[in-house]
Structure 1
Amino acid sequence: MSVKVAMIGFGGVGQSFAEIVNEKQKELQQKYGLEVEIVAVSDVKKGAVYQSDGLNIPKLLDCVRRTGSLENYPETSQTIKGWSSLETIEQSNADVIIEVTYTDVKTGEPALTHCHRAFDTGKSVITTNKGPVALAYKELIEKAEDNEVFFGFEGTVMSGTPALRLPSETLAGNEIREIKGVLNGTTNYILTAMEEGMEFNQALEKAQALGYAEADPTSDLEGYDVRYKAAILSNHVFGVPLDPKDIFCAGITGLTAHDINEAAACDEKWKLLARIRQGNGVVTASVQPERIKNDDLLAGIMGATNAIVYECDLSGPIMLTGSGAGLKETGFSLLIDLIHCHKRKELSKT
């Protein structure tokens, strides 16, 4: 039996996921008994195409990359074009909705509505969008459970680096007392460049030229991106909902070359850190620049790399490091969740 997938959003991440599925088809079948069929794609700018017996992935990617549109995808008697995202969710024969739209993190839309509609129609959801998970974690988890479907969001914190699956599975049995991390590659790249002698504005311009920073880098520089990730970690690891607005947040825009040099003279480095602490049934979180000693586990995390440390009562501190961004890495995070979705479905049959 194949897993039928509908993709809502088909930008760089969605296309990378399709590319990975196409490359790994034989391996997925042999290792996991997983055959993936992409039956639908709906993108607000590129259009939509649905074929109940599965789309041809190479033709799909070629069409989008040549023309920027799905309008010229070759049609058969079963092809339907032009569905909206909600029509695709409701009317396609997909088992799993891959939700990778451009979403307003402050409202969670349109991804939040897409998640609700998919669960309402008995479909699983896998997303890389932070907004819905940070803003409506408990509601969405409960709705997925009530409808006996899967909700995957591994890519929301560290892209293809499994920062969420590690504590829930590999570290099971530990009491995790604190989570701290460098969870934004843009700011870490800038701080590393400043350590190497650049001024803040120079480092930002270089980060933008390399594609690490957006044209409007406010969300990264002011720590807002990390604040949403901290809310997700609190929800998922500690089971305690934190409203992102209630998490203390300060960015790196106030740091100067003098600050960086002063820290270096004391064998310290500046890092933009997320901290989520649990104690006496209370969870607190903060996002802010901190001076840490050079022998701290996170001090050696340089450039656009991300890292997270779980302070555990039994195993001690466990650090996971990897890319926190990138199209292929984020596409891989979708595959991680899809494999686990498939495994869970197979287990339920036994």
Structure 2
Amino acid sequence: MTHKLAFIGFGTVGQGLAEILRDKGDFLRRSLGFEAQVVAVSDMLKGAVYHPDGLDVAALLQAVQTTGKLDAYPDTPGLQRGWDSFKTIRDTNADTIVEVSYTDIKTGQPAIDHCRAAFESGKNVVMSNKGPVALAYKELSALAEANGVRWGFEGTVMSGTPAIRMPLTSLAGNDIREVRGILNGTTNYILTKMEEGLTYEAALKQAQELGYAEADPTADVEGYDALGKVVILANVVMNAPLTKDQVACRGISHLTPADIAQAKAEGKRWKLIGRVKKEGDRVVASVGPEMVPLTDPLAGIMGATNAITYECDLAGPITLVGAGAGRTETGFSLLIDLINIQRGNI
């Protein structure tokens, strides 16, 4: 059965998924029996189009990549234009809403309200937006369950690397006592370059030039991006209802070449570590720079790569390494959520 999709937002991540559907649609249909049809796109800057019989994905991509607007999408009989996000969610015939609007980690909006509207309309949601999961996991997961729909958010922690689904499925049956990881590629790149001899300021400038860091790098370098991911891991993997205000957080902007030299002299390496740990009957979480022994698998993770270690009572420590960002990688995270919804899997 064809899986009808409505995109809320059509920036880098949304286009990443659309490109996968355009380029691998036949492969997905033949190998997995998965067939997706995009029926709507609503983007507050690019415009909106809806057709109940489906849109031409290649034409959508061409329109936004050549003109920046959906106005250039060709008119066809029955095409609707100009629907806002909530009308698109409630009134289209989509089975699943692909929520890829901008991330606001402070409020989670408008994505939290998009999720509410979708679930109340009997529609699934897949997303890579951290805000709703970090700030409203308990409420939204209960609302999805009450309405008999699914909520996929694999991409919120490590993009297409299965940092959420792996512990819930492949590590099921373990008591996971601790989760710790390098959850931000920008800071890991900066620390790698500082170890090569650059100052923090020079390493940050290089990261910005390469597109790893934003013009305002605060969310990355002060640990706030990793903090959101730690809250998600606490709630989803450790089943602990922590909020962001309960997570101690410190970034890397204070580190100096002398700090790097000290770690090297001790056989260690600085990493920004996000950590969730069981201590007795409670769960504590933190984000901060740590000197990690070179014998630790996380110490060998260099550049913009991410990694996460699960301390399991049965399987022992399991470390997962992969990309934590990227257009195609995050597009894949949405695809695997869609595939698992079709399969009825977690």
Give TM class, smaller chain.
Answer: over 0.9
| Structure 1 match to 2:109 | 109
Question: How far off is 1:281 after superposition?
Answer: 2.7
Determine helix, strand or coil for the equivalent of 2:344: helix
Superposed CA RMSD: 1.0
Question: How far off is 1:280 after superposition?
Answer: 2.8
Distance in structure 1 (CA, Å) of the matches to 2:324 and 2:137: 21
Distance in structure 1 (CA, Å) of the matches to 2:164 and 2:11: 24
Q: Sequence identity, in percent?
A: 57
Give TM-score scaled by structure 1 length. 0.98
**Structure 2 letter corresponding to 1:256:** T
| Structure 2 match to 1:261 | 261
Determine helix, strand or coil for the equivalent of 2:230: helix
Determine helix, strand or coil for the equivalent of 2:290: strand
What are the Cα deviations for residues 44-63 of structure 1, in whole angstroms up to 9, with x where unaligned?
Answer: 00000001111001111011
Question: How far off is 1:245 after superposition?
Answer: 1.4
| Structure 1 match to 2:6 | 6
| Structure 1 match to 2:231 | 231
Which of structure 1's runs of 4+ aligned residues deviate more than 3 A?
none
Question: How far off is 1:30 after superposition?
Answer: 1.8
What are the Cα deviations for residues 106-152 of structure 1, in whole angstroms up to 9, with x where unaligned?
Answer: 00001111000000100000011101000110111111111010100
**Structure 2 letter corresponding to 1:250:** R
Determine helix, strand or coil for the equivalent of 2:286: strand
| Structure 2 match to 1:298 | 298
What are the Cα deviations for residues 219-253 of structure 1, in whole angstroms up to 9, with x where unaligned?
Answer: 10100111110000000011111110110000001
Distance in structure 2 (CA, Å) of the matches to 1:241 and 1:326: 29
| Structure 1 match to 2:319 | 319
Determine helix, strand or coil for the equivalent of 2:77: coil
**Structure 1 letter corresponding to 2:147:** N
Distance in structure 2 (CA, Å) of the matches to 1:326 and 1:32: 24
Distance in structure 2 (CA, Å) of the matches to 1:122 and 1:333: 22
| Structure 1 match to 2:100 | 100
| Structure 2 match to 1:154 | 154
Question: How far off is 1:308 after superposition?
Answer: 0.2
* Unmatched tracts of structure 1, length 5 or more: none
* Unmatched tracts of structure 2, length 5 or more: none
Question: How far off is 1:76 after superposition?
Answer: 1.2
| Structure 1 match to 2:127 | 127
Asked if 1:276 corresponds to 2:309, the answer is no
**Structure 1 letter corresponding to 2:294:** N
Distance in structure 1 (CA, Å) of the matches to 2:63 and 2:129: 25
Give TM-score scaled by structure 2 length. 0.99
| Structure 2 match to 1:337 | 337
**Structure 2 letter corresponding to 1:78:** G
Asked if 1:248 corresponds to 2:252, the answer is no
What are the Cα deviations for residues 247-267 of structure 1, in whole angstroms up to 9, with x where unaligned?
Answer: 000000110011001110111
